[in-house]
Chain A
């Protein structure tokens, strides 16, 4: 074989293999990795980060006619009693709770007020710029705070480790790229930008501490809320119109209601979940 032939053969082999690698990229999109659009900047610092009020949608340009949607989410019947979390696998986690922490699958008040229900407008059109204020998830006492939250497309999502133990942040979105990274040092913050809307919340979990889970939605608009401990939620600055409102709960699925709001109107809307 002449030298030229050999070199061209090697080149051809390299080319074929590099194409194979390219295919691998598509096939492994579901894998734990980060795509190019997603930027990650993580800093190890115990300095306080900017906090954003949990579940408070970003301020969009408010029209003078803006309406407000408020409501209450209730659980019908006796809410299931949440068990204590067995944290003895990690002595640090256990030491952070004087009384054992309980599961957060169903957080209901004495009157059946259901917390952690994600309520959002399903079908609103328009261009809503994402705020630059980050949404923060804090890992503290080996639990996520808040348990359910949402971020707007392109809005920074900060995940912070306030524990002096290793957590790994394993996010399992469907439309966005999954990521899975460790935070070994207290005070570490990972900043993520999720660039595709994903209105049904996806799970974020810690593989080190199997009980830790949190839910996060990626919204194309700011009209969403998470029900508080007293079961209430508020969606404000809503342009007048007819909408489908969705209430999503991690265990009991989701419900929809139609609602029409007029200019400057304040409307109440209640949801009831059954066990």
Chain B
């Protein structure tokens, strides 16, 4: 073997091949540093920066844009359903997008209607609102509001989005499955869901992805909120939004696993021949089903609603958090009853685990169990009322700024009020007998989540858009968006109460036209409701343009120069302690220290109209009480 010579590099002796490797590495690092200088921070390759990002802000934006697109898709599915409900059996050329097998000649088929219904619910809840409320707002805002440089587990955060996204794609792909996508409702009750066509299998696999995503996210939120709080940020100094996200994360963590287990069991029933949810002796269309039997369809309902009732609060709590922030900011005064709101939220979180069976009063559980669940249901309405009342009272005496986010936040209050109060008759076993599975139920929960939660989401988007982009959304178009949406959304959902009280069942392909008792009210209300739905779609056009125009302009580097970092004059850390948008890496130049509560607006005796949370508390001016004047002056000078 030839003698290998060593060369000296600095103080180090190396073989030539090693030195060559070191040189290449040095060149790569130099190149990297040059790029980093150009980007004003750490340089990351494009794919790490924009696709597999671990920055909570970018993940929040990824979640937000994806969820908004899914919301639009879910809404479009509903428009197709409303066309059918408004004018049953008529051909619409737009319906042809569903394909000849679902809408031959533009006439929607009943089984396609079922598919649209199941996917509307699934997309809106699991792919739209939860990812928007928790994935987008939670991810973007919680670390900023608690003064943290990022989430506790940035890679887990990324994994959460990258479970959500394929889950969503799988749900979309299920439309191409033989026999179409899932058509057993968003609740997927067996035995129908187990014997349904293949799309249901895709739905279940998609759900496993989505639930995993939520679980990863919730663990991350809990650890982040507990561990990464800024110095001085005690629990009672949290902005209410952080409390809402904190409780929501516990709900996600504890409620989703039963559904994940249930989804896997149903998947086994469908593909592995098990009978977890299939009873013995099941006859389908006159034919006995060849299955092992011994399963229980009600088991699914219990597992499903054990998730899905806490899920309702997953949908509503972040919305309440957003509304609370916006109301405090735009009334320029602290939230009324902040502490009671916080305790109500925590109590609501606990109670949400013991109300699930009020969805199942008609399954023959027995009066004792029904009595228990109707009692807990009545009890859980109390914390909701406390929160809503506190928000209402917070408006009292405020110098309200009626900007677009505030308009949406204000609309949330009565809308959620209607949604919540109409839920009470459903929570009582006796009245539920009449109202169960009617349009009344649809009206009730849509008031909670559509003009309720989704309006709060819009409020949040208008409010925090300048935070994420440095640009404000256009106020005029924002108000156009608000007013048309507000009128139309009530036009859709309010008549549903009348329909439900008249006994019109939900999930009817023709809206009840085939039933003598339902025909009259269906023909009187459905066309109007469908026109309102089209109006609501039209109202989203200004928002879509407003959103994407400004987002693209911001991405192109066109910031609104006069806007400043804190355009709403807010006190919470995300506005007051960092730039808009915040620093790419670490959020804050210096991690803030918190000295104050979250909503120090119009503090009596203070000259500043608002005092950010991280403003140090100055010593009060000594008035010399009990001290000789000379001593007081000396202390002051010291």
Q: Which residues of A contact B (CB under 8 A)?
A: 1, 3, 6-7, 10, 14, 17, 20-21, 23-25, 27-28, 31-36, 40-45, 90-91, 165-166, 168, 170, 172, 180-185, 188, 190, 203, 205, 207
Q: Which of B100, B104, B159 has the most CB of A within 10 A?
A: B104
Q: How far is the CB of A71 from chain B (nearest CB, A)?
A: 31
Distance A207 CA – B158 CA, assembled complex (angstroms)? 48
Known: A3-B52, A21-B201, A184-B89. 5 other contacts (CB 8 A): A6-B159, A31-B196, A34-B178, A166-B110, A182-B111
In the complex the two chains form, is B510's CB within 8 Å of A184's CB? yes
In the complex the two chains form, is A184's CB within 8 Å of B109's CB? yes
What 5 pairs across the A-B complex have the smallest Cβ distances?
A: A33-B179, A182-B110, A42-B104, A24-B201, A33-B197
| Chain B residues whose CB sits within 8 angstroms of the CB of A35 once the complex forms | 178
Q: How far is the CB of B379 from chain A (nearest CB, A)?
A: 41
Residue of B101, B197, B205 near A21 (CB, 8 A) is B205
In the complex the two chains form, is B285's CB within 8 Å of A207's CB? yes
Given A24-B198, A32-B197, A36-B178, check contact A188 B205 (CB 8 Å).
Answer: no
B134-166 residues with Cβ-Cβ distance < 8 A to A are 155, 158-159, 162, 166
Q: How far is the CB of B623 from chain A (nearest CB, A)?
A: 61
| Chain B residues whose CB sits within 8 angstroms of the CB of A165 once the complex forms | 514
B486-544 residues with Cβ-Cβ distance < 8 A to A are 509-510, 514, 516
Distance A125 CA – B101 CA, assembled complex (angstroms)? 36
| Chain B residues whose CB sits within 8 angstroms of the CB of A184 once the complex forms | 88-89, 107, 109-110, 509-510
In the complex the two chains form, is A43's CB within 8 Å of B205's CB? no
Residue of B105, B155, B178, B267 near A1 (CB, 8 A) is B155
B151-187 residues with Cβ-Cβ distance < 8 A to A are 155, 158-159, 162, 166, 178-179
A contact patch SS: mixed
Q: How far is the CB of A7 from chain B (nearest CB, A)?
A: 7
In the complex the two chains form, is A25's CB within 8 Å of B178's CB? yes
Q: How far is the CB of A200 from chain B (nearest CB, A)?
A: 15
| Chain A residues whose CB sits within 8 angstroms of the CB of B104 once the complex forms | 41-44, 188, 190
| Chain A residues whose CB sits within 8 angstroms of the CB of B110 once the complex forms | 166, 168, 182, 184
Residue of A28, A180, A188, A205 near B198 (CB, 8 A) is A28
Chain B window 32-60, contacts with chain A (Cβ cutoff 8 Å), 1 for yes, 0 for no:
00000000000000001000100000000
Q: Which of A43, A170, A185 has the most CB of B within 10 A?
A: A185
B202 within 8 A of A: yes
| Chain A residues whose CB sits within 8 angstroms of the CB of B93 once the complex forms | none
Residue of B162, B197, B208 near A28 (CB, 8 A) is B197
Q: Which residues of B contact A (CB under 8 A)?
A: 48, 52, 88-89, 91, 100-101, 104-107, 109-111, 155, 158-159, 162, 166, 178-179, 195-198, 201-202, 205, 208, 267, 270-273, 285-287, 509-510, 514, 516
Given A7-B52, A10-B162, A41-B104, check contact A182 B198 (CB 8 Å).
Answer: no
Given A36-B178, A44-B104, A165-B514, check contact A28 B91 (CB 8 Å).
Answer: no
| Chain B residues whose CB sits within 8 angstroms of the CB of A170 once the complex forms | 285
In the complex the two chains form, is B285's CB within 8 Å of A24's CB? no
Q: Considering only CB atoms, which chain A residue lies closest to B104 in the complex?
A: A42
Distance A17 CA – B207 CA, assembled complex (angstroms)? 12
| Chain B residues whose CB sits within 8 angstroms of the CB of A188 once the complex forms | 104, 107
Q: Considering only CB atoms, which chain A residue lies closest to B101 in the complex?
A: A40
| Chain A residues whose CB sits within 8 angstroms of the CB of B107 once the complex forms | 44, 184-185, 188
Q: Considering only CB atoms, which chain A residue lies closest to B105 in the complex?
A: A44
In the complex the two chains form, is B100's CB within 8 Å of A25's CB? no
In the complex the two chains form, is B205's CB within 8 Å of A31's CB? no
Q: Considering only CB atoms, which chain B residue lies closest to A213 in the complex?
A: B286
Distance A3 CA – B51 CA, assembled complex (angstroms)? 12
Distance A141 CA – B111 CA, assembled complex (angstroms)? 23
Distance A43 CA – B101 CA, assembled complex (angstroms)? 10
| Chain B residues whose CB sits within 8 angstroms of the CB of A90 once the complex forms | 514
Q: How far is the CB of B28 from chain A (nearest CB, A)?
A: 17
Distance A29 CA – B196 CA, assembled complex (angstroms)? 11
| Chain A residues whose CB sits within 8 angstroms of the CB of B162 once the complex forms | 10
| Chain A residues whose CB sits within 8 angstroms of the CB of B111 once the complex forms | 180-182
In the complex the two chains form, is B271's CB within 8 Å of A20's CB? yes
In the complex the two chains form, is A31's CB within 8 Å of B105's CB? no
In the complex the two chains form, is A44's CB within 8 Å of B91's CB? yes
| Chain B residues whose CB sits within 8 angstroms of the CB of A183 once the complex forms | 109
| Chain A residues whose CB sits within 8 angstroms of the CB of B285 once the complex forms | 170, 172, 205, 207
Distance A167 CA – B110 CA, assembled complex (angstroms)? 10
Q: How far is the CB of B160 from chain A (nearest CB, A)?
A: 12
Distance A8 CA – B205 CA, assembled complex (angstroms)? 19
Residue of B52, B178, B287 near A33 (CB, 8 A) is B178
| Chain A residues whose CB sits within 8 angstroms of the CB of B48 once the complex forms | 3
| Chain A residues whose CB sits within 8 angstroms of the CB of B155 once the complex forms | 1, 6
Distance A43 CA – B91 CA, assembled complex (angstroms)? 11
Distance A44 CA – B201 CA, assembled complex (angstroms)? 31
Given A20-B271, A24-B198, check contact A182 B179 (CB 8 Å).
Answer: no
Q: Considering only CB atoms, which chain A residue lies closest to B178 in the complex?
A: A33
Distance A32 CA – B285 CA, assembled complex (angstroms)? 11
| Chain A residues whose CB sits within 8 angstroms of the CB of B106 once the complex forms | 44
Distance A6 CA – B202 CA, assembled complex (angstroms)? 23
In the complex the two chains form, is B101's CB within 8 Å of A31's CB? no
| Chain B residues whose CB sits within 8 angstroms of the CB of A172 once the complex forms | 285, 287
In the complex the two chains form, is A45's CB within 8 Å of B105's CB? yes
| Chain A residues whose CB sits within 8 angstroms of the CB of B197 once the complex forms | 28, 31-33
| Chain A residues whose CB sits within 8 angstroms of the CB of B208 once the complex forms | 17
Q: How far is the CB of B96 from chain A (nearest CB, A)?
A: 12
Q: Considering only CB atoms, which chain A residue lies closest to B514 in the complex?
A: A166
Q: How far is the CB of A182 from chain B (nearest CB, A)?
A: 4
Q: Considering only CB atoms, which chain A residue lies closest to B162 in the complex?
A: A10
Distance A124 CA – B455 CA, assembled complex (angstroms)? 70
- 28 A-B contacts, Cβ less than 8 Å apart? A6-B155, A10-B162, A20-B267, A24-B201, A24-B271, A25-B178, A25-B201, A28-B201, A28-B270, A31-B197, A33-B178, A34-B101, A40-B101, A42-B101, A44-B91, A90-B514, A91-B516, A172-B285, A180-B111, A182-B110, A182-B111, A182-B509, A184-B109, A184-B110, A184-B509, A185-B107, A188-B104, A203-B286
Distance A201 CA – B509 CA, assembled complex (angstroms)? 31
In the complex the two chains form, is A27's CB within 8 Å of B271's CB? yes
Distance A184 CA – B87 CA, assembled complex (angstroms)? 12
In the complex the two chains form, is A25's CB within 8 Å of B105's CB? no
Q: How far is the CB of A194 from chain B (nearest CB, A)?
A: 16
Distance A44 CA – B100 CA, assembled complex (angstroms)? 11
In the complex the two chains form, is A27's CB within 8 Å of B509's CB? no
| Chain A residues whose CB sits within 8 angstroms of the CB of B179 once the complex forms | 31-34
Distance A259 CA – B391 CA, assembled complex (angstroms)? 90
Q: How far is the CB of B341 from chain A (nearest CB, A)?
A: 39
In the complex the two chains form, is A20's CB within 8 Å of B195's CB? no
Distance A27 CA – B266 CA, assembled complex (angstroms)? 13
Q: Considering only CB atoms, which chain B residue lies closest to A39 in the complex?
A: B101
In the complex the two chains form, is B510's CB within 8 Å of A166's CB? yes
Distance A140 CA – B284 CA, assembled complex (angstroms)? 25
Q: How far is the CB of B48 from chain A (nearest CB, A)?
A: 7
In the complex the two chains form, is A27's CB within 8 Å of B270's CB? yes
| Chain A residues whose CB sits within 8 angstroms of the CB of B273 once the complex forms | 27
Q: How far is the CB of B267 from chain A (nearest CB, A)?
A: 8
| Chain A residues whose CB sits within 8 angstroms of the CB of B270 once the complex forms | 24, 27-28
| Chain B residues whose CB sits within 8 angstroms of the CB of A43 once the complex forms | 104-105
Q: How far is the CB of B208 from chain A (nearest CB, A)?
A: 8
Q: How far is the CB of B164 from chain A (nearest CB, A)?
A: 12
Given A181-B111, A184-B89, A188-B104, check contact A31 B198 (CB 8 Å).
Answer: yes
Distance A7 CA – B606 CA, assembled complex (angstroms)? 54
Distance A164 CA – B306 CA, assembled complex (angstroms)? 43
Distance A185 CA – B285 CA, assembled complex (angstroms)? 23
Given A21-B202, A28-B270, A43-B104, check contact A14 B196 (CB 8 Å).
Answer: no
Distance A28 CA – B182 CA, assembled complex (angstroms)? 13
Distance A23 CA – B201 CA, assembled complex (angstroms)? 10
| Chain A residues whose CB sits within 8 angstroms of the CB of B159 once the complex forms | 6
Q: How far is the CB of A27 from chain B (nearest CB, A)?
A: 5
Q: How far is the CB of B86 from chain A (nearest CB, A)?
A: 14
| Chain B residues whose CB sits within 8 angstroms of the CB of A181 once the complex forms | 109, 111
